[in-house]
Amino acid sequence: METSDTWIVERTGIHERRIAAPYETAAFMGTKAAAQALEAAGLEPSSIDAVICATTSGQNAFPSTACEIALALGIKAPIAFDVAAACAGFSYAYSLAHNMILCGQAQHVLIVGVDSLSHACANTDRTTIILFGDGAGACVLGASEEPGTLAIKLSSDPSRGDLLKLPFPKRGQDLAPGETNDGAYLYMKGNDVFKHAVTILASLVKDTLQEAGMSEDELDFLVPHQANLRIITATARKLKLDMSQVIVTLDKQGNTSAASVPLALDEGIRQGRIQRGHNLLLESFGGGFVWGGALVRY
């Protein structure tokens, strides 16, 4: 198509992406990430009380991807369900997990963010096909006497739903006589989404800090949704953070939607940059519009 590496790198910051093979379903990728999270947490599957999977790429309406992951890992009888909040899915799932622990419903919650939106883009649409990559990230949230989650903010603007949309393929009574079942691809009015994302994320990070009664200089790392490097740098600037305090993975992964924040978190931890006790600001924004932030002491 009519594009170039120079355009993509300059406008997005993306150099490489990972594309899932046909057998690498959301459940397959999610299971791999979840197994690594359990290992990192030093927990057996039997310790997990709930599995929440943030995804809009599951193979089935039911069984949920969360149920498939629980089955594959041998997690017996957990609370298990999927959360559909597009690229903000991980923030929504995190908040649910936090509240389940707070109210005593669970001790350990496995949160998985997984998507394969590269397959949801029309390969003729240069405004989307160059952006999305596939992947999965996971973490375990556990009950503790020490506060680990200092603030959470979630919100939405449903009036902007038409700017970023992924319809289900039509079937049955939705198909007009003679209509074929194609064209159910991801649609994005990129420039409008960009402007909203920058403005909304700027207020989100300020509000999340304020909710926790913290100032920017107490932050150690920003772990942002990886949609566009220009959006990430604008958010970092708002927080007066040096780019060395921002975890960036989109150069190698592109926009992995619900997987992007847990993948960035994982990379920051495994590289040894994020250490125990660090204050992290996680944020994400996606189609709906929906968005969320969490201030976390790791």
**Interacting residue ranges for ligand UT7, rule: CB under 6 A:** 3, 7, 11-12, 87, 126-127, 130, 190-191, 193-194, 197, 227-228, 231, 255, 285-286
Report, in Å, the least distance between residue 239 CB and ligand UT7.
Answer: 18
Q: Of 87, 108, 196, 228, which residue is the catalytic one?
A: 87
126 versus 297: smaller Cβ distance to ligand UT7: 126
Using the 8-state DSSP alphabet, how is residue 208 labeled? H
Q: Of 98, 108, 196, 225, which residue is the catalytic one?
A: 225
DSSP 98-110: HHHHHTTS-SEEE
Non-local CB neighbours of 294 within 8 Å, separated by 6+ positions: 91, 94, 95, 98, 149, 151, 152, 153, 208, 281, 282, 283
Number of Cβ within a 10 Å radius of residue 26: 27
Report, in Å, the least distance between residue 253 CB and ligand UT7.
Answer: 12
Q: Which residue from 93, 90, 118 is spatially nearest to 260, judged by alpha carbons?
A: 90
Q: What is the dihedral of CA 142, 134, 283, 226, to 10 degrees?
A: 140
33 versus 231: smaller Cβ distance to ligand UT7: 231
Q: Check the CA dihedral 268-270-274-279 and report its sign.
A: positive
Using the 8-state DSSP alphabet, how is residue 246 labeled? B
179 versus 192: smaller Cβ distance to ligand UT7: 192
Q: How far apart are CA 12 and CA 28, in angstroms?
A: 28
Task: Tell me whether strands 279-286 and 221-224 are parallel, antiparallel or unpaired.
Answer: parallel
DSSP 89-156: HHHHHHHHHHHHHHTTS-SEEEEEEEEEGGGGS-TT-TTTTTTB-EEEEEEEEE--SS--EEEEEEEE
Report, in Å, the least distance between residue 285 CB and ligand UT7.
Answer: 6
Q: Residue 114: which region, alpha, beta or left (left: phi > 0; alpha: psi -120 to 50)?
A: beta
Report, in Å, the least distance between residue 134 CB and ligand UT7.
Answer: 14
Report, in Å, the least distance between residue 197 CB and ligand UT7.
Answer: 4
Q: Is 225 among the catalytic positions?
A: yes
Q: Which ranges of 13-88 would DSSP assign to H, the alpha helix?
A: 26-41, 65-73
Q: Of 108, 139, 228, 255, which residue is the catalytic one?
A: 255
Report, in Å, the least distance between residue 297 CB and ligand UT7.
Answer: 26
Catalytic residues: 87, 225, 255
